[in-house]
Structure 1
């Protein structure tokens, strides 16, 4: 049994007009639809402004005269300004939401020849979004006006899957976007490629927060920036990419950096500060290591994400910023929530789209294409081609893919390794001797960092002695000296104060209700007159 045909359209207050007998010599788009002998319109939903009630009733009678089997429902749709997009769309949306569509029994044609241009655009949007589950209908007049000539009509199907050429173009656009997110690297890891495929769709279709997890150096920051650049190329953001590592934010400075402050809000606040959230307006805010934020800052961030409004420090007036949040962390925030270190409501808000980036050791098949990418980047930056000889390449890849290559720093380690090899390559050729030396360097770098997670060897007494005044050094008990040497070694081997604190207090921190490893370590160092910056600047002796 064939489906009944139902047309939804606006009354053409100009094209459908005419009162006298001469109207039958004129092409009227709405009437023409029922004049086609081979097409039966079973029902017509005719939308019209109330002030054109007389014309609508005349149209109803004329259609009944031409096609007695067509039922015409007159649908009053009053809008104050027919050129106001929001008002017209709202009226059409409300009608469609309240209408009973029966797609199993009826097919729907949305007539877009009549009505204002605004009304036609709104009709298109209703069909494109499937609020009206049908096809667009376009009518055109005959070449020569005359009684009974209905002209022509054409259906426009917005189901792009039926158009092979368009489908291929869309597939190509998706592939190009995924390649862009991967920086043009032909990655071979199937799991990672599936991950990027979904991230590409989310990046261009969603403005909800995105959470990127994974080990340090896995590429979270790089991917966040590429996602922003992809959105920028699609004209989906107008603002900037603002990035901050939350591990560097402490005390009043954390809230001030993120949310801004008013002059005099705290000691040292000599002038107003806008803050990074406002700098990210209409752009993307990337909060790396979001798990390092304090609980107060987490509460303020939750309000800013949900309401796009927040209070700068020291201000009693809210400000607004419409930004998209991308968060990064190497921590398991689920565990932090369970232990009270991270707000459950904030985690739920930023966890709508959550992706874990695998480390380099979990993607051994991607090491080779990444090496090619790094060498190409080196050539572009230095104007010099560098290549492995065949034996050296095989030896390096064999080691890089082996269990001995833990890649603790992930892609940062690989980038540094290739940079060293390219720098030392004589005549642009990386030899087996260079590879052997680089492998030895990497093994030394990762010594004790395998599955057992051993701590680095303590700093030498001579190195520690250089850091302390002579009288302080002489007053240290052997116990305190050995403990301090071990702490200094951990600080030098880790990239941030927070990570060093987590390493040193990995057991006792589990029993504490409030955890601030960085502050605990900072106080220990200050007890001995040391600061984190001193340990990073001092070279081991």
Structure 2
């Protein structure tokens, strides 16, 4: 049978509450004595902290405890304090005690919070919460009547908040509300993105250090920065405004003036003083988007402002102060910019304490549907007109939006613009399938993709097909050309091996250069399922250097030069 751990109480001697020397003291409640009178609380040792000026009272209390609880050992420990109401002094003294006291795993510690100044009680609570004092909280109180009136009563306070169901539910609800705010009220489904938002929520509520938001253009950095500000404002961590600027718009002398302000007459055209964005953001948040675009001088001044809270307006003789939180945004690789010499390494080190990468929409395709609904609601709020999308149109739009064909190059800006177009063109407030088909075609053109009709031809060869030119018609009509013996898998050669393909297709005499190149192109085409796949294979290297990557169209035009098309060479 295991032995019960010894119970050790740590408490402060109450200069007033524990006072009493005459026999009448036994008739009044004295917390340090009364806690040792409890029949259901057996104390093995009492670590009684007292100030040097209370030694006489400490001895009296020790003697009284020995009378009513002989098994309790009282250990007096002096806690020298000049001012028991000075928070820094009291916390420092109690912290020193917690660091030097020999706590043991085989003892159970209780921290008596009833005595001492309110400052001392707060300090002891904080040290217990941080586990510097590995003890549970013990609170005692007087009783108005009864035989144990002088002993009073007691109870334990458990700091493990997870054990309080209603508190735990409240904290969980507040956290959910915070993450919902950061997500703009959108019920996002992407697991990685949701985990990222949860981490940002923790940092936003606990840190006042700069934050760096990275990710492609249109990923939502500005919106997230604004929501971080709203969360901090809601939690009363900040009181100032939200000030945002795209650093790519700052050029020349105007950049320093816009950020840090200027004095009247500082330069030609400075007819009046200007406050500057950093000063305007005093007590609030400044969001510097595309921070990689800042010049060297602006970077140096910004670093000083972050480290000291002070900076020098253009033309000024004295620095001014501003207490602001910086959130920076960029779609550039700042580490590469540092190596290239375009960005200061010390500034990056200062703003990179909390760095979060926002994924593009193409990496969050499961979030397209809830964002589609959100954009429709946003359109209704802006225009005062509710627009809905019917079931078939909704399905068709999502089929395309979730496919690899939808590149979402501008991310949420593309989605926002797409919804605005469809909602504007909707008849009677309903987006139907015809509107969606038209919008998909527009997006394909926007992203440099094949038209939907061309994709249909690739998926169903020969359906609705028309010869590309008269030469192709001639080849199809020529006996023996265009009539091939197909293998069971549909991928056999036209007639004979690839080496004979040019003559079998009826192509006239070609230069050796064209013949070798065309032979290889046809071979690759026969190894691929679609025109797009063949285009990607043939132009794999050059496509990375082009903004538009419509490889299927490029291959189609190449074949057309020789009077050929996809159906003819792959049948």
Please classify the TM superposition score into its range, dividing by the shorter chain length.
Answer: 0.7 to 0.9
Match of 2:281 in 1: 280
Structure 1: distance between partners of 2:223 and 2:433? 31
Distance apart, 1:94 and its partner CA: 4.0
Residue 525 of structure 1 corresponds to none
Deviation at 1:328, TM superposition (A): 0.5
Q: 1:337 deviation in Å?
A: 1.4
1:180-191 → structure 2 map (5 Å cutoff): 180-191=181-192
Cα shift at 1:246: 1.1
Structure 1 window deviating more from structure 2 (371-380 vs 32-41): it is: 32-41
Q: 2:513 maps to which residue?
A: none
Aligned match for 1:15, one of 17, 38, 54? 17
> TM-score when scaled to structure 2?
0.74
**What pairs up with 1:185-264 in 2 under 5 angstroms?**
185-264=186-265
**Aligned ranges for residues 337-486 of structure 1 at < 5 Å?**
337-447=338-448
After superposition, what is the alpha-carbon deviation per residue over 1:393-421, rounded to whole angstroms, capped at 9, x for unaligned?
Answer: 11111111222221121111111110111
Please tell me whether the aligned partners of residues 81 and 89 of structure 2 are also in contact (alpha carbons under 8 angstroms): no
Among 27, 51, 54, the residue aligned to 2:53? 51
Distance 1:193 1:211 in 2: 18
Q: Give 1:100 deviation, angstroms.
A: 2.8
CA shift, 1:385, in A, is 2.1
Looking at structure 2, the residues matched to 217 and 44 of structure 1 have their Cα atoms a distance apart, in angstroms, of: 64
Q: Distance in 1 between matches of 2:380 and 2:102?
A: 62
Distance in 2 (CA, whole Å) between partners of 1:426 and 1:295 is: 53
Alpha carbons of structure 1 residues 413 and 138: separation in structure 2 relative to 1, 3 Å: same
Q: Secondary structure at the match of 1:393?
A: helix
Q: Structure 1 pair 225/113, CA: closer, same or farther in 2 (3 Å)? A: same
Task: Work out the CA distance in 2 between the residues paired with 1:268 and 1:49.
Answer: 68
Going from structure 1 to structure 2, the CA distance change for 1:368 and 1:13 (only over 3 Å counts) comes to same
Change (3 A) 1:74 1:241: same
When Rg is computed on C-alpha atoms for both structures, the one with the higher figure is 2
Aligned to 2:311: 310
Who is 1:518 aligned against?
A: none
Whether 2:153 is the aligned partner of 1:156: answer no
Match of 1:169 in 2: 170
Q: Equivalents in 2 of 1:43, 1:294: separation in Å?
A: 67
In 2: Cα distance, 1:271 partner to 1:130 partner: 57
**In 2 relative to 1, CA 406–65 (structure 1 residues): closer, same or farther, beyond 3 Å?**
same
Could you tell me whether the CA contact under 8 Å between 1:43 and 1:73 is conserved in 2? no
Instruction: Tell me if 1:70 matches 2:73.
Output: yes
1:346 Cα deviation after fit: 1.5
Structure 2: distance between partners of 1:6 and 1:261: 65
CA distance in structure 2 between the aligned counterparts of 1:42 and 1:282, rounded to whole angstroms? 53
Superposed displacement of residue 126, structure 1: 2.2
Q: What residue in structure 1 maps to residue 126 of structure 2?
A: 125
* Cα shift readout 1:22-59 (whole Å, capped 9, x = no counterpart): 11222100111222244333333333343333222322
For the 8 Å contact 1:79–1:88, the answer to whether it is kept is: no
Is 2:132 the partner of 1:137? no
- The answer to whether the 8 A contact 2:217-2:411 is kept is yes
* SS in structure 1 of the partner of residue 298 of structure 2: helix
The separation in 2 between residues aligned to 1:146 and 1:366, in whole angstroms, is 68
SS at match of 1:6: strand
Alpha-carbon offset, residue 101 of structure 1: 4.9
Q: Answer whether contact 1:225 1:241 (CA < 8 A) is retained.
A: yes
Cα distance in 2 for residues equivalent to 1:116 and 1:240 = 39
Q: Deviations over 1:484-537 (max 9, x none)?
A: xxxxxxxxxxxxxxxxxxxxxx99xxxxxxxxxxxxxxxxxxxxxxxxxxxxxx
Structure-1 residue corresponding to 2:337? 336
Q: Cα deviations across residues 303-358 of structure 1 (Å, max 9, x unaligned)?
A: 22222233333334333222221111001111111212111121122112111111
Aligned-residue offset at 1:136:
1.6
- 2-structure distance, mates of 1:417, 1:271: 44
Q: Bigger shift: 377-386 or 367-376?
A: 377-386
Per the TM alignment, residue 146 of structure 1 is displaced from its structure 2 partner at its CA by 5.8
Look up the SS of the partner of 1:385 in the other structure.
coil
Question: CA contact under 8 A between 1:209 and 1:326: conserved in structure 2?
Answer: yes
Distance 1:274 1:108 in 2: 57
**SS where residue 33 of structure 1 aligns?**
helix
Contiguous gaps of at least 5 residues in structure 2? 451-543, 546-571
Tell me whether 321-330 or 382-391 shows the greater mean CA deviation: 382-391
Q: Which moved more, 1:197-206 or 1:373-382?
A: 373-382
Partner residue, 1:524: none
**2:458 aligns to what?**
none
> Using the alignment, how far apart are the partners of 1:340 and 1:448 within structure 2?
37
Please state how far the C-alpha of 1:214 moved relative to its aligned partner.
0.5
Which moves more between the two structures, 50-59 or 187-196? Answer: 50-59
In the alignment, which residue of structure 2 is the partner of 1:30? 32
* Superposed displacement of residue 148, structure 1: 8.4
Query: For residues 438-475 of structure 1, what are the alpha-carbon distances to aligned partners after superposition, in whole Å with 9 as ceiling and x for unaligned?
Result: 122222222289xxxxxxxxxxxxxxxxxxxxxxxxxx
The 3 A distance-change label for structure 1 pair 265 and 132 is: farther
Displacement of 1:429 in angstroms is 0.9
Native 8 Å contact 1:408 1:446 kept in 2: yes
User: 1:323 corresponds to which residue?
Assistant: 324
Measured on the aligned residues, the alpha-carbon RMSD in Å equals 2.4
Q: 1:253 to 1:5 in 2, by over 3 A?
A: farther
What aligned pairs does 1:517-532 form with structure 2 within 5 A after superposition? none
